[in-house]
């Protein structure tokens, strides 16, 4: 049972990797389209898959990290600070992401989208520090 914390941590990590791939793919696709190149079929399929599953991957990441937190605390009685920071940043990130879909004001939505992207980079760094 002790290893389940690690399993859910790994699920969270894989979900975060999928989430991070979205802005990278967006930049690649945008650059190719700007240069007038056609997207290869495999890239188009990967891009569509990542876009369609972005929200669900966020749900999975948050859920897995919550379970990871609970199991780690129950078995070890402490939570690493880097892991706590990464988890809290992920929670704020999810609120920002859902807030983006509900925001009507274009200027506020732009600021929220920028914060959502920047916080994504912070999460990646926090997860890397937590894993090391």
Over residues 74-110, the pLDDT tens digits come to 888 888 888 889 889 989 888 888 888 887 888 888 8
Give CA 67 to chain center in angstroms: 16
Given a cut of 90, whether residue 49 has pLDDT beyond it is yes
The pLDDT-based confidence of 1 (bands split at 50, 70, 90) is very low
- Whole-Å CA distances, 46 to 9, 19, 32, 82, 103: 24, 13, 15, 31, 28
Tell me phi and psi for residue 96, to 5 degrees: -60, -45
Find the largest Cα–Cα distance for the chain.
Answer: 56
Q: pLDDT per residue over 9-48, tens digit each?
A: 788 888 888 888 888 899 999 998 898 888 888 989 999 9
Band of pLDDT at residue 2, cut at 50, 70 and 90: low
């Amino acid at each position: 049972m002790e290893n389940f914390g690690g399993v859910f941590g790994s699920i969270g990590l894989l979900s975060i990797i999928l989430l991070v791939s979205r802005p990278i793919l967006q930049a690649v696709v945008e650059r190719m389209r700007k240069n007038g190149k056609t997207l290869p079929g495999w890239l188009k399929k990967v891009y569509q898959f990542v876009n369609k599953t972005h929200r669900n991957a966020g749900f999975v990441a948050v859920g897995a990290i919550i379970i990871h937190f609970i199991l780690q605390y129950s078995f070890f009685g402490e939570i690493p600070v880097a892991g706590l920071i990464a988890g809290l940043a992920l929670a704020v990130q999810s609120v920002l992401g859902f807030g983006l879909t509900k925001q009507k004001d274009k200027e506020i939505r732009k600021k929220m989208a920028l914060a959502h992207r920047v916080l994504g980079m912070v999460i990646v760094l926090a997860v890397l520090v937590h894993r090391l």
